[in-house]
Structure 1
Amino acid sequence: MSAPQSRAAKRAATAQRILDAARAEFGEHGLETSTIRRIAQRANVDPSLVMQHYGSKAALFAVAIQLEETGPGEIEAHLHDVLDVRLAELPPQTRALVRSMLTAPEAAASMSAFLNERVANLSHAMGGDDADLRAALIVSSILGLTIARHFLKLDAFVHASDAEIARVARPWVTTGVDPAAAPPATERSG
């Protein structure tokens, strides 16, 4: 017979179940099509508990996608997963946001906030010198690839499969994750 849990322990266990369910739901369906109701079903809780613990779907997503402090190999695996998602067909909501980000201030603000959050999260996980700059370059590279493949339809991307692009892009996108593994930068003389 197990000892009864304290109220705080039960609350923490419920919050963790919701977070685990959210990570699974967001991983399968993305932010746009995931719902609080489906997350609650996965966690076997009432949807109101999801809102009590996390406040909103956006707030839950922000917590769910946080990278723990981890080693370069795990960060690289995460970036490879992100790359795979961005190479596949984009959901309509993502297409609309990316298409509008340069012409609609609201879309630009949403995209900037999302990317700044991704940069901060990645930077924190990587640590080290220039982590913010390295993270911004990685996030920018993935955004550029997304635009070039899905919107500009560059010939090289049109004629290549997702797997071919991923094979070439993976080492390139993760170059800045572990600065100790990168060749030393050369200084330019002025």
Structure 2
Amino acid sequence: MDASPSRAERRAATAARILEAAQAEFGAHGAEGATIRGIARRAGVDPSLVLQHYGSKQGLFALAVRPAADLTAEGVPAHLAEVLEARLTDLSPATKALMRSMLTSAEAAAVMREYLQERTENLARTFSGDDAELRAAAIVSSILGVTIARHFLDLAPLKDADEARIADLTATWLAPLT
């Protein structure tokens, strides 16, 4: 029995390696600073393969920063705690890429806006009252702000604080909104 991977399996593995390399490159350099050559070098492939698999740098960027999974309304409260914990510790290369680029790239801004709107809508479905969407938007925006202040602006109280302490404070702060 032949155990070697099929051509389709090798192609899928190459595409996954390129996507992972792109997430790291966009995370390190943003949408404008990352290059096809840098992505290819990181993935260990020829630059033409990057374009063959993904068409363009913009197309690859859109895939590299897109969230991997959709959230159901039932899972929002637990997910909110997980997101906050994740944003306080380390950011994935895809998240770093999106956040570094969202103020300078219209495409990145659109991806972030769509992502935040989806998170807001999912969270709002778990609330009651006329202001459910506004409360949800405030929570989603607050997590974005904490993430930016801690990881990109190095705001001393957030940067230097223990993750557990920040999580406790933030949970207390967000509790009345939920």
TM bracket, shorter-chain basis: 0.5 to 0.7
The one-letter amino acid of 2:117's match is N
Query: C-alpha deviations, 1:60-100, integer Å up to 9, x for none?
Result: 822xx1122xxxxx854432222101111101111010011
Q: Larger % of helix: which?
A: 2
Distance of 2:67 and 2:112 partners within structure 1: 16
The CA RMSD over aligned residues, in Å, is: 2.4
- Counterparts of 1:113 and 1:154 in 2: how far apart (Å)? 27
Q: Does 1:122 align with 2:128?
A: no
**Cα distance in 1 for residues equivalent to 2:95 and 2:67:** 18
Which residue does 2:93 correspond to in 1? 92
Gaps of 5+ in 1: 1-31, 34-57, 69-73, 178-190
- 1:109 equivalent to 2:110? Answer yes
Look up the match of 1:66: 72
State the alpha-carbon separation in 2 of the partners of residues 117 and 132 from structure 1: 11
| Identical amino acids, percent of aligned pairs | 49
Moved more, 74-83 or 156-165: 74-83
Q: Which whole-Å CA distance do the structure 2 matches of 1:145 and 1:122 have between them?
A: 18
Inter-CA distance 60–108: structure 2 relative to 1 (3 Å threshold): closer
Post-superposition Cα deviations, 1:6-25, rounded to whole Å, max 9, x if no partner, equal: xxxxxxxxxxxxxxxxxxxx
TM-score, normalized by length of structure 1?
Answer: 0.56
Question: How many Å separate the matches in 1 of 2:68 and 2:101?
Answer: 25
Indicate conservation of the 8 Å contact 1:75/1:126, yes or no: no
1:172 maps onto 2:173 in alignment: yes
Runs of 4+ in 1 over 6 A off after TM superposition: none
1:21-170 equivalent positions in 2, closer than 5 A: 61-62=69-70, 65-68=71-74, 76-170=77-171
Distance 1:139 1:66 in 2: 16
Amino acid at match of 1:112: R
Greater relative contact order (CA < 8 Å, ≥ 6 in sequence): 2
